[in-house]
Amino acid sequence: MNLRLTRAARPTTGDRRSALQARRPALLLAVAAAGALMVNVVTTDEPAAQAEPELASVSVAEQLGISEQAPVEDHAVAAVDSLGELAASRSERQAEQDAALRAQAAADQAELDRRAAEEAARVAAEQEAARVAAEQEAARAAEAAEAAASSARPGRGTSAPVAPAGSYQDYAMSKLGGSSSEFGCLEKLWGKESGWNPNAQNPSSTAYGIAQFLDSTWKGTGIAKTSDGYRQIDAGLIYIENRFGSPCGAWSHSQAKGWY
């Protein structure tokens, strides 16, 4: 069968390009539809010797790389399915990327929160340490003020004496209220013990100072062991009053026992 085409007026190059671009989808569909047709060269009934050589049948679909066995609709569906799978794959990747970004943002925020909590704890610890230090300093200041006030109050053994113009004996005499009899006993007692030397140290015991107190004796006076002769006199008078009532009582005991 011969197909004749009626030649129309040849369009210009620009017109042909525009027309082809406009008709390209239709041409593609037409070519796909023609994929099932076979272009055959019909042989004549002439003898084999006179017949034209038979041309091999070539499918347009084969030339276009489309299987003849599958309908055009199947190819279209397959193409649509491929596009759908591609779009789904892209959506999945985008969803994974979005999830990864959200997870990273959450991790970053958690790290920021952790650092902020550590900084807040550090500041709180520093503030607490400063508060405790301030309280301790205030307590020390209060103790110092109390000690100063106690020193200023009159009373035997409660204040650190100011060195008088005279000797230790003069200071002891003043602490005894000027009683010459009591001072006489005290002068003989401590003269025997230390010779009124505030640095006298017994080589065989802890007896030390004017009154020759043992370490255990100092604790009973409320005055810490000291090399200050005036504080030693205060401690000695406190001990004598508590134990013997007066210097003369202590001297009598010392004469009888050899110690007081």
Q: What is the pLDDT of residue 141?
A: 77
Q: In this predicted model, what pLDDT tens digit does every residue of 117-154 receive, in sequence order?
A: 999 999 998 898 888 888 888 887 777 766 655 544 43
Domain residues for the domain of 182 are 168-257
The answer to whether residue 112 sits within a structural domain is no
Give CA–CA dist 150/22, Å, rounded.
115
The answer to whether residue 220 sits within a structural domain is yes
Q: In this predicted model, what pLDDT tens digit does every residue of 176-201 receive, in sequence order?
A: 988 889 999 999 999 999 999 999 99
Name the domain boundary from 21, 47, 69. Answer: 69
Asked whether the whole model's pTM tops 0.75, one would answer no
The answer to whether residue 179 sits within a structural domain is yes
What residues are paired with 58 via a beta bridge?
39
Name the domain boundary from 33, 49, 69. Answer: 69
- CA 76, 82, 85, 90 dihedral sign is negative
Q: Which ranges constitute the DSSP H helices of the chain?
A: 13-33, 60-63, 72-152, 168-175, 180-193, 215-221, 229-243, 247-257
Q: What is the pLDDT of residue 48?
A: 44
Mean pLDDT, the chain, as a whole number?
A: 73
Q: Tell how strand 58-59 and strand 38-39 pair up.
A: antiparallel
> How many domains are contained in the chain?
2
Return the CATH number at 238. Answer: 1.10.530.10
Phi, psi of 208 (to 5 degrees): -150, 145
State which residues of the chain have pLDDT below 70.
Answer: 1-81, 145-166
Give CA–CA dist 28/30, Å, rounded.
5
* Structure tokens, 41: 């060269």
